[in-house]
């Protein structure tokens, strides 16, 4: 990659969940004016690309992932002029704004669905997926919703079932109807013309379903817990023909200069890389790579996952890594507070665009909630496994300072979800005052990534460190070779590396110890420590890697 690489290759993506970032009007829900007020914070984190979860008008059954108008702003979040101001303020700071696009389903309150439901002969009827009941009555086939129960809801008025892989309030659009894609492209046009920098496309692999509506086969490996996992979703996700549809979306987006298309896809490496497009890279710029979230937190496993992904990437493809989002347990809850810095160092030193989730930079933890306080539909629909499937714990308000409501909302306001019990101590203000805090480390790490072309765009090569729990790799370009050492365990380790150099310069440690020269033969990684070191110019391994590629 050259120095002229695109903004989405060099930059760091930061996901803002708008409901939970900053309330500015005292209703206990975050809003666009709140995000604007915090842009300097984001700029100071050295993140470059802000991705917003949906801000469109919505009855909020799935907190905005049920869109009732693709070309407007929900008054809960503000107005279109707030949005225009946000976009201008983001751009003024040299940052970019990416919106969530939810094309697979609309809200049941979208005028398209209201029309579709109104009568069997309505011109919009076939914009959604309608089927007669099975011959003996009941849903047309065995398809299931991610959120529990069948993927079909009966409509008394018209005597047919409509399909939804999420809530009944999220009917699925029918992309086999010739008018649906053009209608969705028109919505994209609206935001592209405004100057948004791209889209994160929700469940992009699910846009087409089996035209024969065949039953899905049973999953022989089902553990009996989540009903959705009892089937193999071969007829409702990742159909071969979905790639053609994605190509059309991408070709449309390419009608504007330099915009980004990210796809949300939970897939293993070999299947994921297909979403870049075959030889031509004509699908997603970044098919989100969730391996760091899904794989067990083990140095050997993570090395295998990274090496495999690097090996499978098509030549034109640019890698990416994601460490958290609004659907997954928080980073510090998954890997533990002491490993969270190691995980952030991994994310920010791997080759490819990193994506991080708001609050993970200060080590926010999931907030355990009793069922009575949960709001997330999969939890409410499956109360017996609410603690497994409920996503409220990772969506609680951002912890800004020690004031009432942690600075998320004014004192006396009831925030839409409760704040973490530790918010008066674990917050941005307290950590900003301490350079050795998680936030201090995060900023130092993002600054290092920005300052070192080897990290932003150099080659990657893993190394044998001859020690359990240690993942070691090189990142380098023609100017510099960096060595990254990560201790995934709670034991002190002495890595033995295949490097001829005697010493290297420590640039950053997760422990925030002072930069200094270290002897490679005597290198010690403390428990839960990660390090980035600079090898001397002309290091033998770096030369062989460079000449090899
Ligand atoms: C994926 C989104 O990230 C999730 O929050 C949402 O519930 C589903 N898609 C349905 O839109």
Provide the pLDDT for residue 479.
Answer: 87
Terminal C-alpha separation, the chain: 12
- Mean pLDDT across 380-394: 97
Helical axes 242-253 vs 180-194, angle rounded to 10° = 30
Which residue, judged by its Cα, is nearest atom 10 of ligand 1? Answer: 65
- Structural domain contains residue 488: yes
pLDDT > 50? residue 46: yes
| CA 65 to centroid of ligand 1, rounded, Å | 6
Q: Please give the number of the atom of ligand 1 that sits closest to the Cα of 105.
A: 11
Report the percentage of the chain scoring pLDDT > 90: 95
Report how far apart, in Å, the C-alpha atoms of 23 and of each of 36, 47, 477, 539 are.
11, 21, 43, 51
372-400 burial string, b = 16+ CB within 10 Å, else e? eebebbbbeebeeebeebbbbbbbbbbbb
Task: Please report, for the domain that includes residue 154, its CATH number.
Answer: 3.90.400.10
Domain end: 123, 138, 163, which one?
A: 163
- Mean pLDDT across 418-437: 97
Which of 107, 163, 166 to mutate to test ligand 1, by most ligand atoms within 8 A of the CB atom? Answer: 166
Which of 203, 324, 355, 391 to mutate to test ligand 1, by most ligand atoms within 8 A of the CB atom? Answer: 203
CA distance 266 to 415: 31
Question: Dihedral of the CA atoms 305, 308, 310, 316 (nearest 10)?
Answer: -130
Residue 93 and residue 198 in one domain: yes
Provide the pLDDT for residue 5.
Answer: 85
DSSP-derived secondary structure for 285-304:
SEE---HHHHS-S-HHHHHH
Residue 135 and residue 232 in one domain: no
Residue 221 and residue 256 in one domain: yes
Q: For the chain, give the mean pLDDT.
A: 96
Residue 277 and residue 135 in one domain: no
Which tokens is 520 given?
């490679």
| CA 473 to centroid of ligand 1, rounded, Å | 34
Residue 30 and residue 137 in one domain: no
* CA 293 distance to own-chain centroid: 10
Task: Please report, for the domain that includes residue 521, its CATH number.
Answer: 2.60.40.1180
- The CB density around residue 225, as the number of other CB atoms within 10 Å, is 13
- Structural domain contains residue 295: yes
CA proximity to 274, closest of 323, 221, 303, 237: 237
Provide the pLDDT for residue 540.
Answer: 62
Which residue, judged by its Cα, is nearest atom 6 of ligand 1? Answer: 65
Helical axes 438-451 vs 337-349, angle rounded to 10° = 10
Residue 309 and residue 281 in one domain: yes
Task: Please report, for the domain that includes residue 208, its CATH number.
Answer: 3.20.20.80
Residue 274 and residue 293 in one domain: yes
As for ligand 1, residues whose beta carbon falls within 6 Å of it are 62, 65, 102, 166, 202-203, 264, 326-327
Domain end: 409, 424, 446, which one?
A: 446
Please enumerate in sequence order all residues whose Cβ is within 8 A of that of 526, keeping only pairs 6 or more positions apart, or say none. Answer: 487, 492, 511
- Structural domain contains residue 474: yes
- The CB density around residue 156, as the number of other CB atoms within 10 Å, is 6
Q: Please give the number of the atom of ligand 1 that sits closest to the Cα of 104.
A: 11
Residue 120 and residue 99 in one domain: no
Residue 427 and residue 357 in one domain: yes
- Residue 4's pLDDT band, with cuts at 50, 70 and 90, is low
- Mean pLDDT across 97-124: 98
Provide the pLDDT for residue 361.
Answer: 98
293-317 burial string, b = 16+ CB within 10 Å, else e? beeeeebeebbebbeebbeebeeeb
Q: Are 106 and 66 in contact (CB under 8 A)?
A: yes
* Total count of domains within the chain: 3
Residue 182 and residue 151 in one domain: no
Which residue, judged by its Cα, is nearest atom 8 of ligand 1? Answer: 65
CA distance 504 to 493: 17
* CA 228 distance to own-chain centroid: 22
Domain end: 413, 446, 479, which one?
A: 446
CA proximity to 462, closest of 269, 341, 354, 301: 301
Hey, which residues are catalytic here?
Answer: 202, 264
Provide the pLDDT for residue 115.
Answer: 98
pLDDT > 50? residue 372: yes
- Structural domain contains residue 1: no
- Residue 537's pLDDT band, with cuts at 50, 70 and 90, is confident
CA proximity to 175, closest of 152, 131, 208: 208
Task: Give the H/E segment covering residue 361.
Answer: none
- Structural domain contains residue 263: yes
Dihedral pair phi/psi, residue 131, rounded to 5°: -145, 150
Domain encompassing residue 474: 459-546
| CA 452 to centroid of ligand 1, rounded, Å | 35
CA distance 435 to 109: 49
| CA 66 to centroid of ligand 1, rounded, Å | 9
Provide the pLDDT for residue 316.
Answer: 86
pTM, 2 dp: 0.97
- Structural domain contains residue 274: yes
The label of the residue with tokens 């990742």 reads 238
Q: Are 347 and 320 in contact (CB under 8 A)?
A: no
- Structural domain contains residue 451: no
Which residue, judged by its Cα, is nearest atom 11 of ligand 1? Answer: 65
- Structural domain contains residue 392: yes
Provide the pLDDT for residue 499.
Answer: 94
Q: Please give the number of the atom of ligand 1 that sits closest to the Cα of 65.
A: 11
Q: Are 340 and 303 in contact (CB under 8 A)?
A: no
Residue 331 and residue 252 in one domain: yes
Report how far apart, in Å, the C-alpha atoms of 466 and of each of 144, 303, 459, 511 are.
46, 13, 22, 22
Residue 121 and residue 19 in one domain: no
Which residue, judged by its Cα, is nearest atom 2 of ligand 1? Answer: 202
pLDDT > 80? residue 541: no
- Residue 495's pLDDT band, with cuts at 50, 70 and 90, is very high
Report how far apart, in Å, the C-alpha atoms of 503 and of each of 215, 512, 524 are.
62, 19, 13
Which of 54 and 3 is assigned the larger pLDDT?
54
The label of the residue with tokens 């203000």 reads 429
Report how far apart, in Å, the C-alpha atoms of 5 and of each of 2, 14, 251, 257, 274 are.
5, 19, 20, 14, 22
């Amino acid at each position: 990659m050259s120095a002229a690489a695109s903004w989405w290759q060099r930059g760091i993506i930061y996901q803002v969940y708008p409901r939970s970032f900053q309330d500015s009007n005292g209703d206990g829900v975050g809003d666009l004016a709140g995000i604007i007020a915090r842009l300097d914070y984001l700029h100071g984190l050295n993140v470059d690309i802000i991705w917003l979860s949906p801000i469109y008008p919505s009855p909020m059954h799935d907190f905005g992932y049920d869109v009732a108008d693709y070309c407007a702003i929900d008054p809960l979040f503000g107005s279109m002029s707030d949005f225009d101001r946000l976009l201008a303020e983001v751009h003024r700071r040299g940052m970019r704004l990416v919106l969530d696009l939810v094309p697979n389903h609309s809200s049941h309150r979208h005028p398209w669905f209201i029309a579709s439901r109104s009568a069997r002969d309505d011109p919009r009827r076939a914009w959604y997926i309608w089927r007669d009941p099975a011959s003996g009555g009941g849903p047309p086939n065995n398809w299931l919703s991610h959120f529990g129960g069948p993927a079909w809801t009966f409509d008394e008025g018209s005597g047919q079932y409509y399909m939804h892989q999420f809530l009944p309030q999220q009917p699925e659009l029918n992309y086999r109807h010739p008018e649906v894609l053009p209608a969705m492209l028109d919505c994209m046009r609206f935001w592209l013309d405004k100057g948004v920098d791209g889209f994160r496309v929700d469940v992009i692999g699910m846009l087409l379903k089996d035209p024969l509506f065949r039953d899905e086969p049973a999953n022989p490996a089902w553990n009996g817990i989540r009903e959705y996992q009892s089937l193999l979703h071969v007829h409702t996700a990742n159909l071969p023909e979905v790639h053609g549809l994605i190509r059309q979306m991408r070709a449309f987006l390419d009608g504007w200069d330099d915009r980004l298309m990210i796809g949300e896809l939970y897939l293993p490496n070999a299947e994921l890389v297909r979403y870049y497009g075959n030889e031509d890279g004509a699908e997603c710029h970044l098919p989100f790579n969730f391996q760091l979230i899904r794989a067990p937190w083990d140095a050997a496993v993570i090395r295998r996952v990274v090496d495999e992904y690097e090996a499978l990437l098509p030549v034109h493809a640019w890698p990416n890594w994601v460490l958290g989002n609004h659907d997954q347990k928080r980073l510090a809850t998954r890997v533990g507070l002491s490993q969270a810095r190691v995980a952030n160092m991994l994310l920010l030193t791997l080759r490819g665009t990193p994506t991080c989730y708001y609050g993970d930079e200060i080590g926010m933890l999931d907030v355990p909630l009793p069922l009575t306080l949960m709001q997330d539909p999969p939890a409410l629909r499956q109360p017996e496994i609410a603690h497994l499937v409920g996503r409220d714990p990772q969506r609680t308000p951002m912890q800004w300072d020690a004031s009432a409501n942690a600075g998320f909302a004014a004192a006396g306001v009831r925030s839409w979800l409760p704040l973490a019990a530790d918010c008066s101590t674990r917050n941005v203000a307290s950590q900003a005052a301490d350079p050795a805090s998680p936030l201090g480390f995060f900023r130092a790490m993002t600054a290092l990534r920005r300052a070192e072309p080897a990290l932003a765009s150099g080659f990657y090569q893993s190394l044998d460190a001859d020690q359990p729990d240690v993942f070691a790799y090189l990142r380098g370009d023609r100017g510099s070779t960096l060595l990254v050492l990560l201790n995934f365990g709670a034991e002190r380790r002495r890595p033995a590396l295949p490097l001829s150099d005697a010493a290297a310069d420590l640039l950053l440690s997760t422990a925030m110890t002072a930069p200094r020269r270290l002897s490679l033969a005597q290198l010690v990684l403390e428990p839960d420590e990660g390090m980035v070191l600079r090898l001397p110019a002309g290091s033998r391994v770096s030369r062989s890697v460079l000449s090899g590629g």
